[in-house]
């Protein structure tokens, strides 16, 4: 069972074909199956993550991308938050510092890729360097065009060296973004999240959708696929992401290691 939409390599994938308001097989937020599904998957996720950490052989990198208000923080709180903080980390990428800008654009991302045994969630990522950078025209076109191949090669290298990579786009509609921005303005406990820059980015909505579409088409590979998660409904978004993480980790199939001591029955713990 899979809820997220996987972008097939070399496909003529169109973002507009995916319904941001999708709710899968569930009737709505209060469908008892929703809570059950999420609770089951969170429990599974906990067990799989512990095995990954104990095994210390493989790593998982999850790239999270979305438009502003798309729900990255919500996913991190509701799906990633319950996991054991030992072995699970979040790396957030803001506009690059002068030090970061003095390096190649993959430098800061590579530095935060997971160690063996760990899961790292990228809250924004190296993909901003073909998204916001493209929309705001921050580098020359020819230079930007070459980056898609770098991104694919970088991920292949990570995979060859033991790091599974999946990439998730939380897909919201323009109307839903308007609603969420308005909520941020109206609710004093959310107002701190509101930035005027978000309004400026919103003006580029169409250009961002095109930039996402091209990035997803050009960089979804069998080793490091992109998944589109319908995200207008926060509960469905969470269920989809949890399911995807479970399926990915089940496929990685981490195992508890045998232990370093040989036959444990030979060891006597002194009184």
128 binds ligand AMP, rule: CB under 6 A: yes
Closest to ligand AMP by CB, 129 or 176:
129
124 binds ligand AMP, rule: CB under 6 A: yes
CA distance 48 to 119: 11
Among 35, 95, 157, 199, binds ligand AMP (CB under 6 A): 95
Closest to ligand AMP by CB, 43 or 95:
95
Closest to ligand AMP by CB, 208 or 226:
208
129 binds ligand AMP, rule: CB under 6 A: yes
CA distance 192 to 18: 31
CA distance 66 to 96: 18
93 binds ligand AMP, rule: CB under 6 A: yes
DSSP 118: -
CA distance 234 to 212: 21
Among 96, 152, 183, 213, binds ligand AMP (CB under 6 A): 96
Q: 197-202: which pairs have CB atoms within 8 A and are 24 or more residues apart?
A: 198/68, 198/69, 201/67, 201/68, 201/132, 202/68, 202/174, 202/177, 202/178
Of these partners, Mg ion, ligand AMP, none, which one is at the site of residue 18 (CB under 5 to 8 Å by kind)? none
Is there a contact between 18 and 226 (Cβ–Cβ < 8 Å)? Answer: no
Of these partners, Mg ion, ligand AMP, none, which one is at the site of residue 124 (CB under 5 to 8 Å by kind)? ligand AMP
Contact residues toward ligand AMP (CB under 6 A) are 93-96, 124, 128-129, 132-133, 197
Contact residues toward Mg ion (CB under 5 A) are 68
């Amino acid at each position: 069972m899979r809820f997220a939409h996987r972008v097939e390599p070399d496909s003529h994938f169109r973002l507009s074909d995916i319904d941001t308001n999708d709710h899968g097989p569930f009737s709505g937020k209060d469908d008892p199956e929703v809570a059950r599904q999420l609770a089951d998957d969170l429990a599974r996720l906990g067990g799989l993550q512990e095995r990954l950490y104990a095994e210390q052989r493989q790593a998982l990198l999850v790239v999270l991308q979305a438009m502003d208000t798309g729900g990255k923080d919500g996913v991190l709180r509701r799906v990633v938050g319950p996991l054991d903080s030992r072995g699970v980390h979040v790396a957030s990428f803001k506009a690059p510092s002068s030090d970061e800008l003095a390096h190649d654009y993959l430098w800061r991302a590579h530095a935060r890729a997971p160690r063996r045994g760990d899961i790292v969630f990228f809250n924004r990522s190296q993909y901003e360097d073909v998204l916001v950078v493209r929309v705001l025209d921050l580098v020359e076109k020819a230079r930007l065009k070459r980056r898609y191949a770098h991104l694919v090669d970088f991920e292949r290298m990570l995979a060859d060296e033991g790091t599974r990579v999946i990439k998730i786009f939380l897909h919201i509609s323009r109307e839903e973004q308007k609603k969420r921005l308005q909520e941020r303005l109206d609710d004093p406990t959310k107002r701190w999240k509101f930035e005027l820059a978000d309004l400026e980015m919103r003006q580029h909505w169409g250009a961002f959708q095109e930039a996402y579409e091209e990035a997803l088409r050009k960089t979804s590979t069998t080793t490091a696929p992109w998944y589109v998660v319908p995200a207008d409904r926060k509960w469905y978004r969470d269920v989809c992401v949890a399911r995807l993480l479970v399926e990915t980790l089940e496929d990685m199939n981490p195992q508890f290691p045998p232990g370093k001591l040989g036959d444990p029955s030979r060891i006597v713990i002194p009184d």
